[in-house]
Amino acid sequence: MERREFIKKMLQRTGIGAGVAVAGTAGLVGYYQPRKEFYLQSAEGAEGKERLELSKKVVVIGGGLAGITASLELARKGFAVTLVESSASLGGKLTGWDLEALGERFPVEHGFHGFFDQYYNLNELFASAGIKPDVFLASPGYPVIFKNSPEEIFGQTPKLFPLNVFAIIGQSRRLDLISFLKNSKGLLSTIELFRYEYKKSFQKYDAIDFMTFCRQGETLPAFVDTVLHPFADATMNRMEVLSAAEALRYFHFYFMGSPEGLSFKITNRDCMTALINPLEAKLKELGVTLRKGCSAGRLKVEGKRVEGVVVDSPDSGSALYLILDAAAVPQEGFAAFVTVDGVPVMVGRKGNGYLAFDGRCTHMGCPVTPDALTGGFYCPCHAGRYDASGIPVSGPPEAPLARLAVLPEGEKLVVKREGIVGGGEGELLACDYCVIASDVRGTRGLVHASQLARPEFESKVASLGEADPYAVYRLWIDRKIDSAEFPFYTVSGYTYTDSISLYSHFQEPFISWAKKHGGTVVELHAYAIAPKDIRPEEEIKATMLQELHTMFPETREAKLLHELFMLQSNFSRWAPGDHARRPGIETPFSNLFLAGDWVKVDAPVFLMEAAAFTGRMAANLIFRQESLKPIPLPIVPMKGLFA
Distance (Å, rounded) from C-alpha 396 to C-alpha 363?
A: 6
* CATH assignment at residue 374: 2.102.10.10
The whole-number pLDDT of residue 13 equals: 36
The whole-number pLDDT of residue 25 equals: 35
474 and 342 in a single domain? The answer is no
Position 349 in a domain: yes
Distance (Å, rounded) from C-alpha 615 to C-alpha 451?
A: 25
Backbone torsions φ then ψ of 224, nearest 5 degrees: -65, -50
Say whether pLDDT at 160 is over 60: yes
Residues with Cβ within 8 Å of 554's Cβ and at least 6 positions away in sequence, in order, are 479, 481, 482, 483
pLDDT band at 262 (very low <50, low <70, confident <90, very high): confident
Position 198 in a domain: yes
Q: Is the distance from CB of 580 to CB of 294 less than 8 angstroms? A: no
409 and 486 in a single domain? The answer is no
pLDDT for 47-92, tens place per residue?
789 999 999 999 999 999 999 999 999 999 999 999 999 888 999 9
Position 632 in a domain: no
**Last residue within a domain, chosen from 392, 424, 456:** 424
Of 147, 231, 154, the closest CA to residue 549 belongs to 147
Q: What is the mean pLDDT of residues 582-608?
A: 97
413 and 479 in a single domain? The answer is no
29 and 175 in a single domain? The answer is yes
148 and 249 in a single domain? The answer is yes
Q: Is the distance from CB of 18 to CB of 187 less than 8 angstroms? A: yes
Say whether pLDDT at 633 is over 80: yes
Of 398, 550, 197, the closest CA to residue 386 belongs to 398
152 and 238 in a single domain? The answer is yes
What is the tally of structural domains in the chain? Answer: 3
150 and 10 in a single domain? The answer is yes
162 and 15 in a single domain? The answer is yes
pTM for the model: 0.87
CA dihedral 581→583→588→593, nearest 10 degrees, is: 180
- Mean pLDDT for the chain? 87
532 and 411 in a single domain? The answer is no
* CATH assignment at residue 519: 3.90.660.20
Query: Partners of 60 in the beta sheet?
Result: 83, 435
Residue count of the chain, please give it: 643
pLDDT for 31-43, tens place per residue?
666 778 999 876 5
Read off the amino acid at residue 608: M
pLDDT band at 192 (very low <50, low <70, confident <90, very high): confident
27-31, 40-44, 142-146: segment of lowest average pLDDT: 27-31
Element containing residue 12 per DSSP (H, E): helix 3-14
251 and 332 in a single domain? The answer is no
Distance (Å, rounded) from C-alpha 211 to C-alpha 233?
A: 11
Position 122 in a domain: no
Q: Is the distance from CB of 267 to CB of 135 less than 8 angstroms? A: yes
Burial 201-233 (b: 16+ CB within 10 A, else e): bbebbbebbbbebbeebebbebbbbbbbbbbbb
Position 44 in a domain: no
Position 222 in a domain: yes
**Last residue within a domain, chosen from 239, 256, 273:** 256
The whole-number pLDDT of residue 280 equals: 98
Say whether pLDDT at 179 is over 70: no
Position 208 in a domain: yes
169 and 238 in a single domain? The answer is yes
The whole-number pLDDT of residue 182 equals: 67
Q: What is the mean pLDDT of residues 392-420?
A: 82
Residue 200 structural domain: 3-37+140-256
**Last residue within a domain, chosen from 568, 598, 626:** 568
Strand 57-61 with 433-436, pairing: parallel
Q: Which parts of 64-176 fold into alpha helices (H)? A: 65-76, 120-128, 163-171
Position 336 in a domain: yes
Q: Is the distance from CB of 468 to CB of 530 less than 8 angstroms? A: yes
347 and 420 in a single domain? The answer is yes
